Amino acid sequence: MNFCSLDFRLLCILIVISYASGSYVRPLPRSTLSVPLDTKSSSDPQQVHVSLSGNDNYMRISWMTKDDAVSSIVEYGTSSGKYTSSAEGENTNYRYLLYKSANVHHVVIGPLETGTLYYYRCGGNGAEYSFKTPPAQLPIAFAVVGDLGQTGWTTSTLQHVQQMNYDVLLLPGDLSYADYRQPLWDSFGRLVEPLASSRPWMVTQGNHEIEKIPLLVSTPFKAYNARWKMPYQESGSPSNLYYSFEVAGAHILMLGSYAEFGTDSDQYKWLQGDLSRVNRRKTPWLIALIHAPWYNTNTAHQGEGDDMKDAMEELLHAAKVDIVFAGHVHAYERFTRVFKNQPNPCGSVHITIGDGGNREGLASRYEDPPSGLSEFREASFGHGEFVIYNATHAHWTWHQNDDDESVVSDEVWINSLASVSNSC
């Protein structure tokens, strides 16, 4: 897109109108965007990413091509260049104002062996990619990063994540920060492809994925739903905005802060049913991701998660959810176990990890004096690592981006609530 064009100036006016209709006005960009150029041919796959399909030993491969003739097929095998299996899937595209997306392909492959390196090719053309399937049993390592965007800090965060020996990446919303400018969804896909094509990325939506414009774009989450298909159907959810999946010994809830969540909503009813089916002997760890945090001592976005907390916190508490990851606030904060605004040994640990590198900069102002619930807080870019070692113990570390170096600045051991069932 020519950012000096009449179309872009018109879009800016429409965005201002859209902002004026809401309660929160985003600040102007503070960092230079890191936008990878599109250098591939129209038939070559690009923006490749993999995700867990929700069925045991299956994975979903997603990518985009500009050529309509490219088939939605993935060839794969355990040796480079030797593809002993193949699978076909589906493709879609979408329109957003004057923008028309390339074809988005989604193919589920399997059954696959756990803990195994696979080589694959998309659409029968282009480069070979590889990914490693997660382990069948504990231990398992998660990278956790929120509010990524496309800045130099994003690049630094991704480089640090790439150095981890992680199995699955969890992202609690705000991916590309395209904010209506659809080509930035494409550049984001190219930016994260080296990581997202080699390990499963499991995401939920944030406010920057909504992209509604009054009178012009009435359907929210158009780009997000088309590009980042998650296993919602496999988990019995009616919407791509919330779902669950299981991996190794963890049951993970990906909740929608910007989908209806009241007690009579589809999301609430789905969550009730999903939690009723959790088997803590099979999955002793129960984890939730949201976007707007339920607990927050930063002055930014105060109270924006309260309505969802009022509706759903009791459900999560009754189910003994171990940890709740959030984004939205562009800083890091870790809380003690908490329930209904009070310390509670049977409550969830809440962690805000909205510091991936977004263009809006850091949220550096905190309430003073600090809440007794908050155990560590800092406005720095970074990422988290959550390693579940066994059915009872997991280790959390927050890695701060310090002069482009990854520095462990906070860490804590966490016990599974399923392992202390007698007292909770």
Kindly list the catalytic residues: 301
End-to-end CA distance of the chain: 55
Cα–Cα distance between 400 and 277 in angstroms, integer?
37
Beta strands in 162-204 (DSSP E): 168-171, 201-203
Q: 243-280 burial, b if ≥16 CB within 10 A, otherwise e?
A: bbbbbbbbbbbbbbbbbebeeeebbbebbeebbeebeb
The DSSP H or E segment spanning 224 is helix 222-227
CB 302 within 8 A of CB 348: no
Q: How many CA atoms lie less than 13 Å away from 311 in the CB half-sphere?
A: 20
Our separate counts of H helices and E strands in the chain read 6, 24
Taking each helix axis as running N to C, give the angle between helix 152-162 and helix 183-196, from 0 to 180 degrees, rounded to the nearest 10: 20
Q: What is the amino acid identity at position 412?
A: V
